[in-house]
Structure 1
Amino acid sequence: MKLSHPRALMMMVLVTMMWSIAGVTARHLESAKSFEITFWRSLFTLLSLLVILPLFQGREVFAKVRNGGAMLWISGVCWSVMFTAFMVALTLTSVANVLVTMALGPLLTALMARALIGHRLAARTWAAIGVAGLGIAYMYGAQFSLGGDEMVGTLVALCVPFAGALNWTVVQRSQAQGRNIDLVPAVMVGALLSALATLPLAYPFQATPHDLRLLAGLGLVQLAIPCALSVVCARVLKAPEVSLLALLEVIFGIALAWWGANEAPQATVLTGGALVIGALVMNELLGWKQQALQRSSSRSA
């Protein structure tokens, strides 16, 4: 599938909208709880990818899994942690808490790449990390004062950006060593590992047919399809564009939970989230501008 730049932008917006339906959908489940929710969503994601990926990449996708080596399986473990922690966190705390915490992913990736690979960070990125840290500290401070499930859920949600940061760092290191990891088969491995890990914890099954329909929809529409489409978009869009558009998931997700499940975000979450997202947007925009100036100067030279 080949896309023009405007169509890739539109498709990436659609992808973020599909990602954002998890929270509001989880609020309409009748009986399924915690690890059972994760098990069914991961299983339906796996089954969907077993159909979708051969259509995109042919049967060679299965050879990529067999021959991917340790790095692909490490990436798969990271995906499984993200799948599991995300849904468990949604059962413990608000959609807004989870999504704002996940928005830390790009900055945590930058820090981890600095620590493990030695990537140098620009001054603007350090500033963005500081501002986002203040936002998260403000939001987490309110959660710690409340205690209970809210605090636990927010801490579980923090596993998602940490696993994502490790995932991208592993991919970058492998690419630097001349080994390319195809992330889409790694997602399929992650769905498999997440389903296997949560199966023993899912008993006794309590999901109603209504729940299973919703969870099947999450596996297909919220993960499998947007995963495949985002890979197509990433071939056309620049990294800053993808990073900025991905932040729409936070906005869409909070809005959908507010509108579709009457879950109004707390003022502390909105304030802390504004600091996090503002820091990310400014960092990406400044980086984009700097790259444009460098390209312009190199052409003129």
Structure 2
Amino acid sequence: MSLPIDAAHHRRGLAITAVGGLALSFDIPLIRLSDGEVWSLLATRSLCTFIVALIAWFVLNRIMGRQIALVPGRQGLFAGIFYGLGTFTFLLSVFNTATANVVFIVAFTSMFAAILSWIFLKERPSNATLITMAIMVFGVSLIVQDGLKSGNVFGDAMAVLSALLLACAITVSRASGKDMGLVPLATAIFPCIIGYLLSPAEGLIIADPFWIIFDGTIMIPLAFFCLATGPRYLSGPEVGMFYLLETILAPIWVWMAFNETPTSQTLAGGGVLILALVGHSLWQMRQRSAASIAPPLH
């Protein structure tokens, strides 16, 4: 059953998720700047995020008087598990394939969200969404094919799994209708534990810990809080589309900082994904605008 969303809530949702997508675009560059071992980075980043969740929960509940649960019930736990596993697979993808491959493939989150919303929430995608989905499958196939040639198939597979897990989290959040803003932050304790268990015996190995601490305490909490709050105001596919900001901007930041240039085939696949998502977003905006000015039926 489709959830009603009025115009004011929709605008609020657009603003919140846009901030989240922008903050998320700095994640990979900050991970790369930290120059550390993958499990050490996972543990440190996740621990910082979990501490922020506890602080935010205390401030919201005890000081501001808002009753917000860290993990609201069983649905919150399921969403948190999906977010935690997504963090795990995302870090693996960052260390096993090119940045452009990761963010272009993760852009498929919106289409996974559309499929899951169709199956579990009975929100049938429009014909335009189905066409966009088919085009995006072609774009992702170009990137994965390039990964097969370059030996990055594991990293590309982890990126695909990350997109699916994020879509699962978005769908569960939307189905619950509950405030899930703190869930991805609080459940960061799960990948934190995994990271510490798999870290080198001699301890955490991070050349420049400032960047990963900044990422874990500022950028990731801001990004996930906004993106986890978005499903209260927007549909799953719309929330997923704001991951497009990371898709566009992260390769630019990495190119500026590390001079990492994507292959021509990856750029071609990414171009297909971006054009498909931009076209679909413009179509949705036009449809919503037309619906808002249409006279009511009597």
With the length of structure 1 as denominator, give the TM-score of the two structures.
0.83
Higher relative helix content: 1
Match status 1:200 vs 2:197: yes
Give the distance between the partners of 1:11 and 1:219, measured in 2 at CA: 19
Change (3 A) 1:61 1:188: farther
State yes or no: 1:22 paired with 2:19: no
Cα gap change, 1:237 to 1:72, in 2 (>3 Å): closer
CA distance in 2 between partners of 1:61 and 1:164 (Å):
27
Partner deviation per Cα, 1:141-174 (whole Å, 9 max, x = no partner): 1111222xx1111111112110111112222333
Q: Does 1:293 align with 2:290?
A: yes
Alpha-carbon deviations, 1:273-294, whole Å to 9, x = none? 1111211121222122122222
* Secondary structure at the counterpart of residue 135 of structure 1: helix
How many angstroms apart in 2 are the aligned matches of 1:23 and 1:215?
A: 10
- Report the residue type matching 1:264 in the other structure: T
Change (3 A) 1:226 1:121: closer
Write out per-residue CA displacement over residues 26-49 of structure 1, whole angstroms, 9 at most, x where no aligned residue: 22334x212221111101111122
Matches within 5 A, 1:17-96: 17-30=22-35, 32-56=36-60, 58=62, 64-65=69-70, 68-96=72-100
Q: Deviations over 1:234-285 (max 9, x none)?
A: 8888988765554222121010000001111111111111111211121222
The amino acid across from 2:270 in the alignment is G
Q: Is the 8 A contact 1:107 1:129 kept in 2?
A: yes
AA aligned to 2:222 is: I
CA distance in 1, matches of 2:205, 2:253: 23
Query: Which letter maps to 1:23?
Result: I
Cα offset for 1:19?
Answer: 1.5
2:245 corresponds to: 248
Deviates more, 1:52-61 or 1:236-245: 236-245
Question: 1:177 maps to which residue?
Answer: none
Pick which of 13-22 and 56-65 moved more.
56-65
Matched residue of 1:65: which SS? coil
Which range moves more in the overlay, 259-268 or 44-53?
44-53
Q: CA deviation at 1:9?
A: 7.1
> Alpha carbon RMSD of aligned pairs, Å?
3.1
The equivalent residue for 1:153 is: 155
- Where structure 1 has 5 or more consecutive residues not aligned to the other structure, the ranges are 175-179
Maintained 8 Å contact 2:181/2:229: no
More displaced 10-residue stretch of structure 1: 282-291 or 221-230: 221-230
In structure 1, what is the Cα distance between the partners aligned to 2:129 and 2:200? 45
The amino acid across from 2:205 in the alignment is A
| Inter-partner Cα distance in structure 2 for 1:81 and 1:25 | 20
In 2: Cα distance, 1:107 partner to 1:130 partner:
9
